[in-house]
């Protein structure tokens, strides 16, 4: 967990599941609260969801991350969801999510981060991440110090 003067950035905590649903329901209107609670019912399931929370306890950003099982020898952190909801600090919130994802990627030994394009379906994201079909499209960040983001 990372804290600064404005926000707390961490994996989704049990106490924040209902608050995070305020964003999830706008991103994925076909997912109801009971489905969301079931999909985030354990610490292992919540670990894949990153949040940015303001000092008032409002979830301002959410991201789903996991290590791709299809990456072969080169591990890649997949980011199918990256959402920021803040009138004044949208870019700052998104940046905090991405920075936390970079740290998670380093912890997992990943060489890249792959941010997915917007998905048209939503119930898949409540499932087992090992069954997700990783798209070829999106934005890939090479985590080597000399590399820059590259579109696919």
How sure is the predictor about 42, in pLDDT bands with cuts at 50, 70 and 90? very high
Predicted model pTM: 0.82
Name the residue with higher pLDDT: 144 or 44.
Answer: 44
DSSP state of 148: -
Calpha distance 120→113 (Å, rounded): 21
Residue 133: the pLDDT is 74
Q: β-strands 59-67, 76-84: how paired?
A: antiparallel
């Amino acid at each position: 967990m990372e804290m600064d003067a404005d926000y707390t950035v961490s994996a989704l905590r049990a106490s924040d599941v209902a608050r995070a649903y305020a964003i999830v329901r706008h991103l994925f209107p076909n997912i109801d609260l009971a489905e969301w609670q079931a999909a985030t019912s354990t610490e292992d399931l919540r670990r894949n969801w990153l949040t940015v929370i303001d000092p008032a306890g409002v979830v301002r950003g959410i991201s789903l991350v996991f290590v791709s099982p299809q990456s072969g020898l080169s591990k890649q952190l997949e980011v199918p969801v990256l959402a920021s909801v803040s009138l004044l600090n949208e870019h700052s919130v998104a940046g905090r999510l991405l920075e936390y994802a970079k740290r998670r990627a380093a912890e997992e030994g990943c060489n890249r981060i792959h941010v997915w394009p917007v998905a048209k379906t939503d119930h898949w994201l409540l499932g087992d991440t090992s069954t997700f079909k990783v798209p070829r499209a999106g934005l890939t960040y090479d985590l080597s110090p000399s590399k820059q983001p590259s579109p696919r």
